[in-house]
Structure 1
Amino acid sequence: MWSIFWMGDGFVKYSSPSFARVFYRHYSIDLLTGQRSDIKIDHFLERLESDHGSLEEIRQKRNYVVHLFYELGEILLDHSGPGADDPLAIEIQYKEKKPWSLIENIPSLELKAVGAVSSRDYKAAFDKGYEHLLRGDIYQFNLTFPFSYRWKKNHSAKEICSRLWREKESRSPYAHATYIPKLGKLYLSNSPECLFQGDLKGPQASLWTMPIKGTLPRGEDWRESFKKLKSSKKDQGELNMITDLLRNDLTKIDLQVGRVIKKCAPLVVPKIIHQYSLIETKLRESTSLLKIVKAMFPGGSVTGAPKKNVVKILSSLEKEKRGFYCGSTILIDRDLFAASINIRSGDFCMDDKMMRYHAGGGITLLSKCEEEFLEMHLKKDSFVRNL
C-alpha cells in the first residue's frame, strides 16, 4: 500500500502504513489484515474531532492521508443516500516518506470504452434538473456521469501513474494516487482543484479554497480562450454563484468572514483552460478537522447551490454513485495541510483491468444541453488521452 503526491517540484511517496482502514456506514475493514469489524463511519467522524480537535493537534500530524468519498457528504448533509456497502472514507497513517521517480517509457494502456452515457439519457437528466432551476428549487447543479474502460496488457499501479504523469505539463497541482492491494484498487487523480488548503503558521492560521467554473479547450493561445470565458454570461454566473456559496462555507467554520481574494482568474491545466476564484478565512486555535470537513465537504463546485437541496436532487438524477470522484483527499504532513476535490480522477480495478471515470459540469438557466454534453466529453478526454 502506498500513496503518491505531486508537490510541484517532484513526487513524494508515502509507504509502510501503520494503520489503514476503509469505513462503510455500519462497519469497516482493516486494510492491513482484511479483518472486518463493527467500527463504523460515525467512529471515524468522532475521531476527526477528538484526535484533530485543535490546530496544534493538526500541526503535529505526519504522513497522514484520508480519502473522503462523495457519498460521505450525503450523510453530513443529513441525506440517507449511501447504501450499506458504499465506501465512505479511507484513513491511512504511513511510517515512511521519500521522493519517488516516474517509471520511464510506459506504453499506452490502449483503453477500450465499454460504457458511457447516451446523449438521450444525458438530456433526460439535464431536463429534469433544469425543471428544478425553473421552479427556483436550486440555482445551479453539477451533473455528472461515469465512463467505463478496459485494458488488456499487464500494468502495475505505478506504471499507470507514470503513464498519466509522464509529461510535466500534464500534471495538475493536486495530482495524487493511492494503491490498496486488499481492495485491488488504484485511486488516481490529476485534479487541478482544492477543497481547502491551510497556512497554520504565524500569529493567526488561515484557510482558503479555490472553486473552478468554466471550461474551454486551451487552443493555440490560452489567453484567447480565457477571454471567451470572461465574456460568457453563463460561465461568469456559474463562478459567481459558487464563489458566494464557498465564501459562506468558509465563514461557517469559525464565524470568521470569508474574503474573496481573487475573482475570475485563469487556470491553465492539461489541454483545458478554466477560471477560478480564491477565497480565504481565518481560523481559531480551537478549530477541529471535523468542523472544517463539515463546513466544506462535499465541495460546492461539484454539487451546486444551495448545496443541501442540490445534493438531494442529484441523487435522483445520477443513477450511479460518484465514489472517489468528487470526493476529497486530505494530506497532513508537517506544514502541509491540504485537501483536493477529486475531479479528473479514475477508479482502477486492477484485478479486472477496468477503469471508471466520471465527468460533468455545472448547469444554470443559461446552459444549453448540447454544449454541456460536449464539455463533459472534453473533460473526460483530457484524462483518458494521457493514458
Structure 2
Amino acid sequence: MSTSDRFVLTLPWAPPLAVAGGLAARDGALCLLSDGGPNGRVSWVGAEPDVAGIGPVDDADPFAALRQAGWDRHVIGLAAYDAGARPATGERGQAAGDWPDLMVARYPALLRFHHPTQTIQAIGIGPDAPAQARRAADWIASARPPSQPAPPAGEFGEETPETTYTAAVADVVERIGAGELFQANIARAWGGALEPGTDPFDVFVRLATGAAPYGAFWRLGERVLVSNSPELFLTFDPADGRIETRPIKGTRRRDADPVRDAANAADLVASAKDRAENLMIVDLMRNDLARVSVPGSVRVERLFALESFATVHHLVSTVAATAAEATGPADILNATFPPGSITGAPKHQAMKVIAAHEPPRGPWCGSLFLLDDRGRMTASVLIRTASFWREEGQWRFRTLAGAGIVADSDPRSESAETDAKIVAIRRALTGT
C-alpha cells in the first residue's frame, strides 16, 4: 500500500523484543513495547533517525519543535518533567545525567507490530518511502531472541534517607491543612551504576517479563531511557479530534497469594482516600483538556476502574474530549504538561511544593510521545522509568517513585507505596 510519501509492506510476525534486540546497539534504537492487551495492542521498533534535536526549550512553548514542517509523523519525543514545571518553579538546576528538557527524533522508517492480528507493517515515509519501508523490513532478518540477562547492577542506593521522605510528606500534609493546596505527588529517588560489560537494554529485557502497556527503550547518543509505564498521558487522533487521558491514582501491592491479592484489590476499590485522590486529578485533567477542546465536549468516560499489573493494582479513570479546530499535538501537550497525576492540585502550586522538596526530576514523570505515520499521538507518563547516561565510560542510572499526598496521608504508608512502585525496576536492575 502506498501514498505519495508513505509506503507500507505487510510482513509475517516476529516478536518485537527480538527485533529490537538486533538493533539495540544502533544510535536511535527504539522499542515501544506494549503488552498486547486492550490498552497496548501495538508495538513499534526502529533505529537511525534522519534528524534529531536535543536541548533546552522555550518556557512559553516547550513543544515548538512539533510545529516545524515535516515534524508531524514518525516523530519520537521525550519531554523532561522539569521542562513543564519550570514556569511554575523558576528552577534552573540540571537533572542527574545532564538530561535536557526535550529530545526529539524523526524516523523515516519504523516497524509497527499489531499484537491482536500478529502482523507487522514496515512503514516508510518521505520522498524515498518505498526504500525506507524495505530497509525497515530488513531489520527483521537481524532479530535476536533475547536470553534473560543476569542482573546488570550491583548497587541500588537511595539518594536520601527514608526519614527525609517521610518528613517531606508530613510537610505537605501540613501545607494542605493550611489551605495551600489539595494534593502533591512527592517522590523518592535511587541510583547507581551498571556493571562493566552490561547495557541498559539488559534492564529493558528483564522488565519485559512483566510488560506494561507503555514499555519503552530509547537510545539517543549517550543517553538511554528504559520505561515500563502502565499509564497513558494522552492520545490524540487528528482524523476525528478525539483526545483521551487516563490518569492513575490509587495503588496497592500485588500478593503472590490469590486470596490476599484479591483482598488488596478490593481494599483499593473501596478506599475513600484513593477515590478522592483520583477524583481530584480527574477534575484537574478535565480543566487542562478544556483549554484546547470544543466547549462542552470534555467528559469522564470511566471513573475509578481497577487495573492490575505485574506488581501493583491501580485505580484508573478515563477523560476524553474533542479538540478545537486547528488544534495540534504541540497545543495539546502545552495545555496539559506535566501530567496532572504526577503533579497535584492545584497544579501550579503543587509543582512549587514539589520543587521545595526535590531536585530536578529529569525524564521521570515527564512524557515519551510518538507521532505515528498518520499523525496520531500517543504519550505515556514516565513512571516505572529509569534514565541512563555515560559517565567516564560507565553507565549510571537514576529512578524514582512517588505517591500522591492528600490531607489524611500517613508518611509511613506513603513511603511503603513508593516501595511497592519501585519493585519491578529494582528487580530488573539488581535481581532483589
TM norm structure 1: 0.86
> What's the offset of the Cα at 1:264?
0.6
Which of 169, 184, 199 is the equivalent residue of 2:237? 199
Residue type of the alignment partner of 2:204: C
Q: Are residues 1:290 and 2:330 paired?
A: yes
Work out whether residues 256 and 281 of structure 1, in 8 Å CA contact, stay in contact via their aligned partners in 2: no
Unaligned runs of 5+ in 2: 1-26, 37-41, 112-139
Residue in 1 that maps onto 2:273: 234
Q: Are residues 1:263 and 2:306 paired?
A: no
Task: Please report the RMSD computed on the Cα atoms of aligned residues, expressed in angstroms.
Answer: 2.2
CA separation of 1:197 and 1:299: change in aligned 2, threshold 3 A: same
Residue in 2 that maps onto 1:21: 53
Which of 50, 66, 74 is the equivalent residue of 1:48? 66
Residue in 2 that maps onto 1:149: 192
Residues 8-157 of structure 1 aligned to structure 2 (within 5 Å)? 8-9=35-36, 11-24=43-56, 45-49=63-67, 51=69, 61-75=72-86, 77-83=87-93, 87-98=100-111, 102-157=145-200
Work out whether residues 70 and 324 of structure 1, in 8 Å CA contact, stay in contact via their aligned partners in 2: yes
Q: Distance in 2 between matches of 1:277 and 1:73?
A: 23
Residue in 2 that maps onto 1:327: 366
TM norm structure 2: 0.77
Q: Distance in 1 between matches of 2:308 and 2:144?
A: 24
Residues 176-195 of structure 1 aligned to structure 2 (within 5 Å)? 176-181=216-221, 184-195=222-233
Work out whether residues 23 and 44 of structure 1, in 8 Å CA contact, stay in contact via their aligned partners in 2: no
Work out whether residues 246 and 319 of structure 2, in 8 Å CA contact, stay in contact via their aligned partners in 1: yes
Work out whether residues 103 and 159 of structure 1, in 8 Å CA contact, stay in contact via their aligned partners in 2: no
Work out whether residues 140 and 362 of structure 1, in 8 Å CA contact, stay in contact via their aligned partners in 2: yes
Work out whether residues 159 and 191 of structure 2, in 8 Å CA contact, stay in contact via their aligned partners in 1: yes
Q: Distance in 1 between matches of 2:186 and 2:407?
A: 14
Which of 246, 250, 271 is the equivalent residue of 2:285? 246
> What's the offset of the Cα at 1:43?
7.9
CA separation of 1:346 and 1:264: change in aligned 2, threshold 3 A: same
> What's the offset of the Cα at 1:42?
6.7
Structure 1 vs Structure 2: percent identity of aligned residues?
25
> What's the offset of the Cα at 1:44?
6.0
Q: Distance in 1 between matches of 2:313 and 2:233?
A: 19
> What is the SS of the residue equivalent to 1:254?
coil
> What is the SS of the residue equivalent to 1:137?
coil
CA separation of 1:248 and 1:187: change in aligned 2, threshold 3 A: same
Which of 248, 252, 262 is the equivalent residue of 1:216? 252
Unaligned runs of 5+ in 1: 26-39, 52-56
Residues 341-360 of structure 1 aligned to structure 2 (within 5 Å)? 341-350=381-390, 351-360=393-402
> What's the offset of the Cα at 1:127?
2.2
Residue in 1 that maps onto 2:348: 308
Work out whether residues 194 and 211 of structure 1, in 8 Å CA contact, stay in contact via their aligned partners in 2: yes
Residue type of the alignment partner of 1:20: A
CA separation of 1:104 and 1:94: change in aligned 2, threshold 3 A: same
Residue type of the alignment partner of 2:236: G
CA separation of 1:370 and 1:8: change in aligned 2, threshold 3 A: closer
Give the number of equivalent residue pairs. Answer: 357
